[in-house]
Structure 1
Amino acid sequence: MPKHITYAVWRGLFAVLIAISLLTNPLQAQSLVSTTSTDRETAVPDLPDPLTEDTANALISRLSDSEVRALLLDQLNAQATNPDDDTDEIEDFIYHLTSGAFAQITIALQRLPLLVTEQARAFSTFGNFVGTNGLLAIAGYFLMVLLGAFAIEFAFRRLIRGWLVLPPRRADSQSMREAIVPLAKRLTSEIVSVAVFMFAAAQITRLAVPAYYHPFFMLVGPWLIGLPRMSAAVARFFMAPNAPDYRIVSATDTTARAMVFHMFWLGMVIGIGQVIVPFNVANGVPVGETRIGAWVNFAVHLYVALLFWRYWSESIDMMRGGYNDLSPAEDWIARAYPYFGIGVALATWWIVNIVVSYENFALLEGIPQYKTLALLTFAPAMDTAIRGLVRHLAPPMTGEGPVAERAYVSTRRSYVRIGRVLVFGIVLMAVASFWDMSPTTLANAGVGERFAANLMEFLLIIAIGYLVYEVVSLIINRKLAAEMTASGYDPNAEEMGGGDGGGAGGSRLSTVLPLILGVSQAAIIVLFLLLGLSNAGVDTTPLLAGAGIVGLAIGFGAQKLVTDVVSGIFFLIDDAFRTGEYVAVDSTMGTVEKISIRSMQLRHHRGPVHTLPYGEIPKITNYSRDWVIMKLRFTVPFGTDPNKVKKIFKTIGAEMMEDPLFQDDFLQPFKSQGVLEFDDVGIVMRGKFMAKPGTQFTIRKELLTRVNKQFEENGIDFARREVRVAIPGLDDHDKLDEADKAAIAAAATEAAQEMVEAAPGAGKPGD
Structure 2
Amino acid sequence: MIMSKAVRGVHPLLLALPLILLGIIAAPLAAQEAQTNPDSLPATSELDNLLQTLEDEGERQRFIDNLRTLVEAERAQASEESDGLGTRVMGQVSDAVGDLSDELTDAAVELSELPLALWRGIESLQSPATRASAMEVAGKVILVLLGGFIAEFLLKRLLARPRRSVSDRHGDTKVLRLAYLLLRTLLDTLPIVAFALVAFSLLPLVEPKPVTRLVALALINANLLSRIIGVIGGMLLVPGHPGLRFLPMSDETASYFQVWLRRFTLVGVYGYFLLDAALLLGLAYSAYAVLLAILGLVLTAMLVVLVLQQRQAVAKFLRGSKSGGSTLVNLRLRLAEIWHVLAIAYILGCYVVWVLNVQGGFEFLLRATVLSLVVLIAWRLLAHLLGQMVERLFRLNNELRMRYPLLEVRANRYLPAFHRILNIALGIFATLALLEVWGLRPIEWLAGPEGRALLSTLFLIGFVLLGALIFWEVFSAYVESTIQRRAADGVGSQRIRTLLPLAQNALRILLVVLVGLIVLSEIGVNIAPLLAGAGVVGLAIGFGAQTLVKDIITGVFILIEDSLSVGDVVLIAGHSGTVERLTIRSIFLRDLEGNVHTLPFSVVDTIQNYSKEYSYSLIEMQVALREDVDQVIAVMREVADELIADEVYGPNITGEFEILGLDRFEEYSVVVRVRFKTVPLMQWAVRREYNRRIKMAFDKYGIEIPYPHRTLYFGEDREGEAPPLRLARAQLRPRKAAPPPPEHPTVEGPQEIPSEVPDAPEPEEPAGRPA
TM-score of the aligned structures, taking structure 1 as reference length: 0.41
Higher relative contact order (CA closer than 8 Å, sequence separation 6+)? 2
